[in-house]
């Protein structure tokens, strides 16, 4: 689980900025009832949808490392909360907590009729809860034109995040955590290049959106954020099949039997029981990614009511 201290620190810093910004801001008219300020702050909630781009599932028989391979049928809900400080409607800084879920399954390709039906026959799947804390910079390009009506304003966002995940799969109606099974031999001496993957990692969120001011005290946003990841194991799939005999060497008997079943599930599609050691299981050259589409509502602080 992500440590709470970084998140608390980020939100505390922005909360302090929000509380002190009225004291350091220069006021001018927002409308006939409120003064505006150079510095304003926001705090709010978000809700939307989350999906991922991994080796599993997708929309094409040959996996593509692009949004064109996203299968929207696997979209899951997400939510979050954020605090932000904005300077003069041009730039901003935002801390955010996000919670969601991602999943993918090769079985979704059942009705594709390509001659190479490899992903469907591979029959792998995963699901994982996502928890993320991020610090993001916002840029409002139209903010440099003070004469424009900026009640509806597009913006770009980029920053850094920390997230945790735990890929799981269903076997006999039971969810099983995959990292402990070492399905691709991660950390074993037979595969020295395959290191165990950490379940808490850095990411790079980038995206954009549109911000609409409902009035001096409330805003509404629609936003898309794509996360570049530094791991290919979001779905526990990355390289090739391992020798199934090695599970009994490195794991105790019940866990080894479970690992062997979840590492190679082609027999569930009628494939013969064979040793597929070294055959392609995933594509390690393409890192995984996940993204979200959110609607955000926030309360604005720093504007002063005209007496």
Give the ranges where 41-106 is alpha helix by DSSP (H): none
Whether the model pTM is above 0.85: yes
Residues 108 and 58: their CA atoms lie apart, in Å, by 8
- Tokens standing for residue 107: 């079985």
Handedness of CA 204, 223, 125, 97 (dihedral sign): positive
> Which among 264, 296, 304, 10 has a CA at the least distance from the CA of 121?
264
> Which among 251, 195, 262 has a CA at the least distance from the CA of 56?
262
Residues 297 and 285: their CA atoms lie apart, in Å, by 38
pLDDT tens for the chain, 307 residues: list them: 565 555 555 555 554 554 544 444 445 556 778 788 889 999 999 999 999 999 998 876 556 667 778 888 999 999 999 999 999 889 999 999 999 999 999 998 887 655 456 788 899 999 999 999 999 999 999 877 776 767 789 999 999 999 999 999 999 999 999 999 999 999 999 999 999 999 999 999 999 999 999 988 999 999 999 999 999 999 999 999 999 999 999 999 999 999 999 999 998 888 777 778 899 999 888 899 999 999 999 999 988 888 7
Residues 163 and 131: their CA atoms lie apart, in Å, by 5
> Which among 213, 217, 214, 221 has a CA at the least distance from the CA of 33?
217
> Which among 231, 228, 234 has a CA at the least distance from the CA of 126?
234
pLDDT of amino acid 21: 45
Q: Which structural domains are found in the chain, ordered by start?
A: 4-305 (2.40.160.20)
């Amino acid at each position: 689980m992500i440590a709470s201290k970084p998140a608390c620190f980020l939100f505390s810093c922005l909360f302090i900025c929000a509380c002190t910004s009225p004291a350091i801001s220069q006021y001018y008219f927002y409308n006939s009832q409120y003064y505006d300020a150079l510095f304003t702050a926001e705090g709010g909630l978000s809700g939307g949808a989350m999906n991922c781009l991994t080796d599993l599932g997708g929309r094409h028989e040959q996996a593509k490392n692009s949004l064109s391979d996203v299968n929207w049928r696997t979209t899951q809900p997400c939510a979050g909360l954020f605090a932000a400080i904005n300077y003069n409607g041009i730039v901003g800084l935002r801390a955010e907590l996000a919670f969601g879920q991602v999943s993918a399954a090769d079985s979704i390709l059942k009705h594709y009729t390509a001659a190479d039906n490899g992903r469907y026959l591979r029959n792998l799947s995963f699901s994982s809860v996502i928890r993320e804390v991020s610090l993001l910079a916002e840029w409002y390009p139209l903010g440099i034109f003070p004469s424009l009506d900026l009640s509806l304003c597009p913006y770009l966002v980029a920053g850094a995040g920390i997230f945790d995940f735990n890929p799981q799969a269903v076997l006999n109606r039971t969810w099983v955590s995959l990292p402990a099974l070492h399905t691709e031999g991660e950390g074993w001496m037979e595969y020295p290049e395959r290191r165990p993957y950490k379940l808490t990692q850095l990411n790079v969120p980038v995206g954009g959106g549109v911000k609409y001011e409902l009035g001096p005290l409330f805003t509404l946003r629609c936003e898309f954020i794509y996360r570049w990841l530094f791991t290919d194991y979001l779905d526990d799939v990355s390289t090739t099949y391992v020798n199934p005999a090695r599970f009994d060497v490195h794991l105790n008997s019940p866990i080894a039997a479970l690992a062997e079943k979840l590492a190679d599930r082609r027999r569930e599609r009628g494939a013969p029981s064979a040793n597929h050691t070294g055959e392609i299981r995933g594509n390690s050259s393409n890192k995984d990614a996940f993204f979200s589409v959110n609607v955000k509502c926030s309360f604005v602080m720093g504007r002063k009511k005209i007496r």
